Chain A
Amino acid sequence: AQKITQTQPGMFVQEKEAVTLDCTYDTSDPSYGLFWYKQPSSGEMIFLIYQGSYDQQNATEGRYSLNFQKARKSANLVISASQLGDSAMYFCAMRESWMDSSYKLIFGSGTRLLVRP
């Protein structure tokens, strides 16, 4: 079974510093996708970044980058120049495929990030 592990329940970072949120995954499917979502206290899940298993380069989206190490099965999120508004829960997710081309997301347990002023 596919699985996503986030080992950091909570983290602190100083404003304007960079922070890395860890994510490891386990799958036997050669084709998979990895996502990071941000969930503020309001509850809405906000899509941040995507990495496909066949992508040669690490994905980047503004201040977000994904440190993808395929052999180690890790997909860590790096947030550069942290801002107070980055305080939220962050979820790593993997797209699981089904036999008839159906898909679902499997989520990790999340990391709560708190940015200190």
Chain B
Amino acid sequence: KAGVTQTPRYLIKTRGQQVTLSCSPISGHRSVSWYQQTPGQGLQFLFEYFSETQRNKGNFPGRFSGRQFSNSRSEMNVSTLELGDSALYLCASSTGPGETQYFGPGTRLLVL
């Protein structure tokens, strides 16, 4: 069974731009969560989606948004990029809320 896939793997943007990251969960998994990883803040929870509904959101500004589609694929969007948004963005999927989360390879975003 294929693992979680994330596209793109690497991204370079400039301040003020917006970016969309994509995540395809493991087949049969309906829950998708997103995390941001930075050297200073470590791993921080962004969102959780289940059945196309955002069920939980971390302590991030409104510039960070996301959605989930009927096939469980998920996207996250960051608008008006800031230098501090440079990070590894990890997506994880599970069969349902609370189950073991399996992570994708991440998208490395660099904001210049």
A residues with CB within 8 A of B: 33, 35, 37, 42-47, 50, 91, 93, 95, 97-98, 100-110
User: How near does chain B come to A45, taking the closest CB pair, in angstroms?
Assistant: 4
In this assembly, does B33 line the interface, its C-beta being within 8 Å of a C-beta of chain A?
Answer: yes
**A35-B100, A100-B55 given; 19 more Cβ-contact pairs under 8 Å:** A35-B101, A43-B106, A43-B108, A44-B104, A45-B90, A47-B101, A47-B103, A50-B100, A93-B43, A101-B55, A102-B48, A102-B56, A103-B56, A103-B97, A104-B56, A105-B35, A105-B43, A107-B42, A109-B42
Number of B residues whose C-beta is below 8 Å from A? 23
A98/B56 contact (C-beta < 8 A), A44-B105, A105-B33, A110-B42 known? yes
B residues with CB within 8 A of A: 33, 35, 42-43, 45, 48, 50, 55-56, 58, 88, 90, 92, 97-98, 100-106, 108
